[in-house]
Structure 1
Amino acid sequence: MIDAATIHRCADPGLKPAIVEKFIQAVGVSDPLAVTVRSGNRVVLVPPPKTPDEAMELLRRYVGHAMVRVGVTQYPAGLGLADVSELKPDLVDTCANIKIGTALFGKVYRIVVKWYGTPADQAFGDALDAWNTGYFEGKYVFDAPEPDRTPERAPPNEDQVKRGDADEKAPAATAAPPPSEPGDPNKAGIRIDLSGIGVTKPK
């Protein structure tokens, strides 16, 4: 099994050490080259790779056609990739696999904890089930958004930007009061009578 020092050195800092230890103990394998291939409920027997190149060749052969897990944490290979050419040797590196595996499990765990409303023991068990199957409450969990991530604010539209610039440039002491109905020229705050300009008075 992987030693505790390596686990703590490589694990994602977003997951508590105690959870990391339980996770590695539950799903971890000692061989960083381990590749598991499943098609539905059936395990596909593949020759155990002896080198990183052989492990990567197995990944390229099966990713996209079956559920493929790899490395110490049995990370879901191919997650988020558009093509098998994007697969990286980091997947079969012990430390790198622990880092990405614990980061992904951390997200899964937080999703389950949010559903329960508390980090109960049952939440950890359900998070492990979700890790093994890829599903929680009937939804694919690996590409689900982070539960703690707040939506980004929408960028201001062009009119808002122009109004903001105008407000910054206008002197505060001489600014005219806003009209009671925006855009209504008949209810402007200050007016100057220009009707007499250019008019010749009769003698």
Structure 2
Amino acid sequence: MLDAFLIQQCADPSLKPAIVEQFIAMAGSQDPLAITVRSGNRLVLVPKPTTPEEALAVIRDNLGRNTVRVGITQYPAGLGIVEAGQLKPEMVEPCENIRMGTALFAKVFRIVLKWYGNPSAKEVLPQVMDDAVVAWQTGYFEGVAVFRAEDPGDAKSPQPVHDPLHDGDKDVGSRENLGEPEVVPEHAGSDPNKAGMRIDLTGIGGRT
């Protein structure tokens, strides 16, 4: 069990501690030096590091050739790094890894949440969490590279799906109608003068 104080002090403040705990339990590791290396769908066996220096050496040996995940949050080591020399030792430091990992996962969570229409119903959130974790593990959600996608931002504060101006239409904003997560409904390719566009918007919370 990850120390609650560590989560409180280091995790991204936009995520509730319970979500951080669940995220790490589902997708992370209790070992701050944990390194997971994959080549496609194949797991690559690497020496288990015992020091931060050894962990960085394993990362450098595999970066660019394989997918490398690091530390408590299993942060994608190659994100934003052009060459292995840019790696920072802080990546395997527990607090910094949690800070980096939860900040990135918060963005992934918001992308998935917005795709669902920013629901506030508690029964929907477990599915959002499951999809966000899968997106974290694979790097993709509905064909979008979530780590490099734009942060929707406004999905941080879910709003009720129901719109009193369109009573009975709240279920129309389905997955098929919402489309890819980086495409907002106003630019989804529909004629803005058609009634169907208004129906799509009833499934979207936190509109800007």
TM (norm. structure 2) is 0.69
Amino acid of the structure 1 residue aligned with 2:139? G
What residue in structure 2 maps to residue 50 of structure 1?
Answer: 50
Deviation at 1:4, TM superposition (A): 1.3
Does residue 145 of structure 1 match 2:150? yes
What is the distance in 2 between the residues matched to 1:79 and 1:57?
A: 17
Equivalent residue letter for 2:33: L
Counterpart in 2 of 1:77? 77
In structure 2, the residue matched to 1:136 is: 141
- Ranges in structure 2 where 5+ consecutive residues have no aligned partner: 155-208
- Shift, 1:20, TM fit: 1.2
Amino acid of the residue matched to residue 131 of structure 2?
D
Separation in structure 1 between the aligned mates of residue 84 and residue 152 of structure 2, nearest angstrom: 29
Greater Cα shift, 96-105 or 12-21 = 12-21
State the 1:146 CA deviation. 0.5
Q: Highest relative contact order (Cα 8 Å, sep 6+), 1 or 2?
A: 2
Please state whether the residue corresponding to 1:104 is helix, strand or coil: helix
Partner of 2:16: 16
CA distance in 2, matches of 1:148, 1:8: 22
Aligned to 1:34: 34
Q: Which residue of 2 aligns with 1:102?
A: 102
> 1:196 is matched with which residue?
none
- Relative to the length of structure 1, the TM-score reads 0.71
Name 1:187's counterpart in structure 2.
none
**How far off its partner does 1:53 sit?**
0.6
| Deviations, residues 64-121 of structure 1 (Å, cap 9, x unaligned) | 1111000001000010111111110111100000010000000000000000012522
Q: Greater Rg, structure 1 or structure 2?
A: 1
Query: Identity of counterpart residues, as a percentage?
Result: 59
4+ residue stretches of structure 1 with deviation over 6 A? none
- Counterpart position of 2:129: 124
Q: Matches of 1:46 and 1:37 in 2, distance apart?
A: 7
Give the residue type in structure 2 aligned to 1:95.
C
- Residues paired across the two proteins, number: 149
Residue 104 of structure 2: SS of its match in structure 1?
A: helix
Which position in structure 2 is the counterpart of 1:160?
A: none
CA RMSD of aligned residues (A): 1.2
Residue 68 of structure 1 aligns to a residue whose secondary structure is strand
1:14-54 per-residue CA deviation (whole Å, 9 max, x = no partner) reads 22222112112212211111101000110000010011111
Q: Which amino acid aligns with 1:18?
A: A
In the aligned structure 2, how far is the partner of 1:54 from the partner of 1:82?
21
